[in-house]
Amino acid sequence: MGIATVNPATGETVKTFEPLTPEEIEAKLAKAQDRFLEYRHTSFAQRSQWMNKAAEILERDQVELGKIMTLEMGKTIKSAIAEAKKCASVCRYYADNAEEFLKDVPASTDASSSFVRFQPLGIILAVMPWNFPFWQVFRFVAPTLMAGNVGILKHASNVPQCALKIEEILTEAGFPDGAFQTLLIGASQVESIINDDRVKAATLTGSEFAGASLAAAAGKQIKKTVLELGGSDPFIVLDSADIEAAASSATAARMLNSGQSCIAAKRFIVAESVADHFEKLLVEKFSALKVGDPMDEATDIGPLATPDILDDIDQQVQKSVAMGARVLIGGKALEGAGNFYLPTILTDIPPNSPADKEEFFGPVASLFRVKTLDEAIELANSTTFGLGASGWTTDPHEQERIINEVEAGAVFINGMVKSDPRLPFGGTKISGYGRELGIYGIQEFVNIKTVWIK
Ligand code: NDP
């Protein structure tokens, strides 16, 4: 499938798009480079004004933007509208804080004056996925443009209208022509862009394969990358936890975006003493979810974004079951049009089955029982991923152990993992490297220049 809007709820191809030609890509890169030479000298006050205006537009048009997201990738309309509003928050956060985050940092040395200065690099390429088609882009755009860089976007091929709309919003907000451009291109056209001297760095959110391929190309050119890849986040529930709260949060954490989130809790690791109670509540809560038309305000679970994702998740479930996993609820696709999969809980997970080791990018929970905290931590760390982790216990000693010993870019205690503009976001192990958001996010794509004056 080329670049197209295909409604995941019906399978209908709504609109197709031609990828840019090499000449068109060249014109966009030339424009971005010309723009950077002026844009880098604009003041923080000016950039903040444009960024705040972008936030206003996102809020003003939240329903229209929500409908585009839902049409293209199937997230529920209520979550799509919430996503537009969250994008406004990241715009305001960097509009308010970028100057402070990037001001000179003095250092006491043998010089009469020495300090660190942060300077923009130039054109930054973002390769982004479809799962949060606005949020993933705005959390790149807000720090990147506020730092004085210019951005180009290669968005996922199934969300072209989202991609074009984002450029429109930033243009309407007042950013100069070329400060941010969407390139409608396929994945095979990315490498030549990375190889272009004018492009200074790249960030990718998506699969391990795509991340490795981008990073390999960038590595050959000695260009920095930030990678935000998959996860198979553990959600550890221990004896002292509030089981009702944990089960509600577990449901929200697993079902976020119909299960298509890198930081969704995927492996539920529960102490034996509370496991029956937790399992019963989880089954009840999964059963109560309404699967259906994502444009309907009452729907909790929409279709998966593409038929391939539906096939992948079903194969992972069927393979796990064939190896010995037991289905507590769900375990199959809905019949009829659209990429709908039933909320599913697997238990008695066999070692090395997909439910044990792989990322499930859909509404499927794997439930494990453990006897000790040692066992819980060992299981939590037994995948190649290391994105987020959630731990449920009121015991401070157990909390400390989870914080210190679970291999993850984020640990949330008695809450679900979520992204917040004020906190850094990113992974360890095969979940990637580098950080988005917070002060660390804006400092990824700048030249951290040492200045020493005798
Ligand atoms: P991909 O990694 O294939 O797509 C993400 C982005 O990377 C898209 O823009 C895609 O473009 C682009 N891309 C794909 N291959 C390359 C490449 N070789 N070089 C440069 N860019 C590339 O994700 P999928 O959408 O196919 O999803 C597959 C899996 O990825 C999921 O099951 C999940 O594990 C993971 N994923 C993780 C996400 C996260 O939030 N961390 C988000 C989405 C997916 P194009 O669409 O044109 O192929």
2: number of Cβ within 10 Å: 11
Tokens at residue 314, please?
């079903």
| Local structure of 427: helix, strand or coil | coil
Q: Is 316 in the pocket of ligand 1 (CB under 6 A)?
A: no
Report pLDDT for 134: 98
Set 262, 279, 358, 398: catalytic member:
262
Q: pLDDT (tens digit, 9 = 90+) per residue, 87-129? A: 999 999 999 999 999 999 999 999 999 999 999 999 999 999 9
Q: 339 with 312: CB under 8 angstroms?
A: no
What is the C-alpha to C-alpha distance for residues 423 and 438, in angstroms, rounded to an integer? 5
Q: Is 194 in the pocket of ligand 1 (CB under 6 A)?
A: no
Annotated active-site residue 358? The verdict is: no
Q: What is the mean pLDDT of residues 41-64?
A: 98
**Strand order, beta sheet including 432-433:** 180-182, 150-154, 123-127, 199-205, 224-228, 432-433
Q: Is 313 in the pocket of ligand 1 (CB under 6 A)?
A: no
Q: 91 with 134: CB under 8 angstroms?
A: no
Residue 324 phi, psi dihedral angles, 5° rounding: 130, -5
Query: What's the pTM value of the predicted model, to 2 decimals?
Result: 0.97
pLDDT at 1 over 70: no
Q: pLDDT (tens digit, 9 = 90+) per residue, 352-395? A: 999 999 999 999 999 999 999 999 999 999 999 999 999 999 99
- CA-nearest residue for atom 40, ligand 1, is 262
Q: Using CA of residue 283, residue 333, residue 8, residue 419, what is the dihedral sign? A: positive
Tokens at residue 181, please?
């451009």
What is the C-alpha to C-alpha distance for residues 159 and 151, in angstroms, rounded to an integer? 18
Atom of ligand 1 nearest to the CA of 306: 25
Tokens at residue 355, please?
């439910």
Q: pLDDT (tens digit, 9 = 90+) per residue, 247-292? A: 999 999 999 999 999 999 999 999 999 999 999 999 999 999 999 9
Q: Is 206 in the pocket of ligand 1 (CB under 6 A)?
A: yes
Q: Is 189 in the pocket of ligand 1 (CB under 6 A)?
A: no
Give 436 Cα–ligand 1 centroid separation in angstroms.
Answer: 18
Q: Is 260 in the pocket of ligand 1 (CB under 6 A)?
A: no
What is the C-alpha to C-alpha distance for residues 10 and 72, in angstroms, rounded to an integer? 11
Q: 341 with 333: CB under 8 angstroms?
A: yes
What is the C-alpha to C-alpha distance for residues 332 and 342, in angstroms, rounded to an integer? 6
| Local structure of 18: helix, strand or coil | coil
Give 213 Cα–ligand 1 centroid separation in angstroms.
Answer: 11
Q: Is 207 in the pocket of ligand 1 (CB under 6 A)?
A: yes
Give 206 Cα–ligand 1 centroid separation in angstroms.
Answer: 4
Report pLDDT for 37: 98
What is the C-alpha to C-alpha distance for residues 205 and 137, in angstroms, rounded to an integer? 10
Q: Is 51 in the pocket of ligand 1 (CB under 6 A)?
A: no
Query: Which sequence spans correspond to the domains of the chain?
Result: 3-229+429-453, 233-413
Considering only CA atoms, which of 396, 399, 319 is closest in space to residue 364?
A: 319
- Domain 3-229+429-453 in CATH 3.20.20.60? The answer is no
Cβ-based neighbours of 171, under 8 Å, separated by 6 or more: 177, 180
Give 351 Cα–ligand 1 centroid separation in angstroms.
Answer: 27
Q: Is 162 in the pocket of ligand 1 (CB under 6 A)?
A: no
Q: Count CA atoms within 13 Å of residue 33 on its CB side.
A: 12
Q: What is the DSSP letter of 341?
A: B
What is the C-alpha to C-alpha distance for residues 152 and 167, in angstroms, rounded to an integer? 10
Confidence of residue 53 (pLDDT cuts 50, 70, 90): very high
Q: Is 210 in the pocket of ligand 1 (CB under 6 A)?
A: yes
Give 264 Cα–ligand 1 centroid separation in angstroms.
Answer: 17
Q: 147 with 118: CB under 8 angstroms?
A: yes
Residue to probe by mutation, ligand 1, list 159, 190, 207, 360, most atoms within 8 Å of CB = 207
Give 138 Cα–ligand 1 centroid separation in angstroms.
Answer: 17
- CA-nearest residue for atom 37, ligand 1, is 206
Annotated active-site residue 228? The verdict is: yes
Considering only CA atoms, which of 295, 276, 279, 275 is closest in space to residue 287?
A: 279
Detail the DSSP E strand segments found in 218-350: 224-228, 233-237, 265-271, 326-329, 344-347
Report pLDDT for 345: 98
What is the C-alpha to C-alpha distance for residues 436 and 442, in angstroms, rounded to an integer? 7
Tokens at residue 329, please?
């609820």
CA distances from 122 to 146, 274, 439 (A): 12, 54, 19
Give 333 Cα–ligand 1 centroid separation in angstroms.
Answer: 23
- CA-nearest residue for atom 35, ligand 1, is 207
Report pLDDT for 55: 98
What is the C-alpha to C-alpha distance for residues 321 and 353, in angstroms, rounded to an integer? 9
Report pLDDT for 60: 98
- CA-nearest residue for atom 15, ligand 1, is 210
Q: Is 190 in the pocket of ligand 1 (CB under 6 A)?
A: yes
Report pLDDT for 313: 98
Q: Is 413 in the pocket of ligand 1 (CB under 6 A)?
A: no
Interface ipTM above 0.90: yes
Q: 194 with 203: CB under 8 angstroms?
A: no
CATH topology of domain 233-413: Aldehyde Dehydrogenase; Chain A, domain 2 (3.40.309)
Atom of ligand 1 nearest to the CA of 361: 32
Set 83, 167, 228, 444: catalytic member:
228
Q: Is 128 in the pocket of ligand 1 (CB under 6 A)?
A: yes
- CA-nearest residue for atom 17, ligand 1, is 210
Atom of ligand 1 nearest to the CA of 228: 41
Q: What is the DSSP letter of 425?
A: B
Tokens at residue 404, please?
């210190």
Q: What is the mean pLDDT of residues 341-355?
A: 97
Atom of ligand 1 nearest to the CA of 155: 9
Q: 99 with 44: CB under 8 angstroms?
A: yes
Report pLDDT for 385: 97
